Structure 1
Amino acid sequence: MVDKEGRCTHYSSLVDIIANKCYLCKKYYACYQCHDEQELHHFEAWPVATEPDAKVVLCGACQLEMTVSDYQKKAQCLNCGRLFNSNCSKHSDIYFS
């Protein structure tokens, strides 16, 4: 279950508002666990080195799509200013390769 800003049952704090795009299915999910529960394949990290300009991060508050570089520049959305969870950087290897 995902709320209107993209929070799921796995990550549900006020700042857990981003979704990441899976490289295989090209769909946004609140987290890799939500993806793996709904798809027949495991979440595959986006290859940033070969596709650095791809928009693969989504702000749940305003729906702005961002590149990984845009997302990692600040701890908040470049459009609406909503804060992102700084602990997400601990999982970046799951979402970006």
Structure 2
Amino acid sequence: MVNQNVHQGKSIAIISYITWIGTLIAFIMNNDKRNSFAAFHIRQMIGLSIFSIANTFIIARYGGVWASGIIGTGLFVLWIIGLIGATQGEEKKVPLVGDLFQEWFRNIA
């Protein structure tokens, strides 16, 4: 049953990692199916998107371009880890902040 849940939600989970537009599309697609695997990855990507927006508008403005670039590189690495987890059918939390994303956005998706 668990493998079937992962198989059914895998495409939605992968779509969620395609920019914030993909996250929005995946969220809408998952509203009908309520797949827990897809919801897990949607929550991870919502958190990464919010951190990315904060990096763009807050860190870049007040911390400088170098600080924003370093944080942006770290966010890119976290995005790759999440995407790999989705393609492999694993509920792998992104390091450092994955638990926070699951807690903060537990009512989403």
Whichever structure has more helix as a proportion of its residues is: 2
User: Whose strand fraction is larger, Structure 1's or Structure 2's?
Assistant: 1
Q: Which has the larger radius of gyration?
A: 2
